[in-house]
Structure 1
């Protein structure tokens, strides 16, 4: 096995050696003879090998490598795999790229067309061509595609709908959140409208999540 491959797959860094001939024969298989899912299976197993190897180098015994210890090390590991770069987020999901395929008409038949690639690490799409949207339009995204429900707002960077924060009100659609006016509050997330402070309490600032009781000698006779 060449030095470049040994370095890429950290064969020379293994606490317990791996049979080079076995790895070499696996990597040398004709891609036409294997399933399209085989690279992912290989990288899934190898992710555990990398994590276990890291824990062994930290001085842990084989008996100690299990449960949360192994899971934490697995999520922190990253390497260049056969299926691409292997890295995980805080939830354990792989940060990889996904192809967005679009069914398009081609004469009297339909075909699957690669129109974009989604990067999980940047949470964004890189479009190669505009897809055919659900309304039949292919020049630009339908505006209602990104509409958020009432109680949610659209995040600027990701364009995802997020639950309205406390102290804010969200009408939905494409709007962002709006702070509650003085005298009103929103004490929970996901509120469509701010509520007026009850009698005997006040909220002097915009964006209040709660109302305060009136100080001695003062009153708030109305909501």
Structure 2
């Protein structure tokens, strides 16, 4: 996005790593888990590309329109009900939908910016934060706090012994790794919205 170049590259690395991990999660698990991992991989790589510092790459307007179309289609894909959906997955699907719509919103804001997206972020402060940006900031800040608390160890759980073998099929399906991936993408989304 449009902060210092070092912060931009760190954001690119974080999002690309999260997207890569989500690609690894596509290898196993139930169909719903693979579908979720695919959406998260798309978000991770899309956010990584969007976070490339402006000094390195200033894409033309049509690129931002293409982003909006891709993530709009992904949002529609999230809305399509799949067979065998479990009730507890509704909250997670809602989070995916909101993330995809946030990407559409950011891409639309960049496409609508006069002179390209990379020249407008400094001018937002004069008129204040737009309502949609503020609502998304509040949501993702709350999500990051909630997801962070889910990674805290629970009293009474026994950690695996060091050197204990991990089943090959379940290596990337562990809930805490998926939660850490979602937390990192939530942090990245929060950082990107702050620069919008």
TM-score between the two structures when normalised by the length of structure 1? 0.22
Structure (1/2) with the larger strand percentage: 1
TM-score between the two structures when normalised by the length of structure 2? 0.24
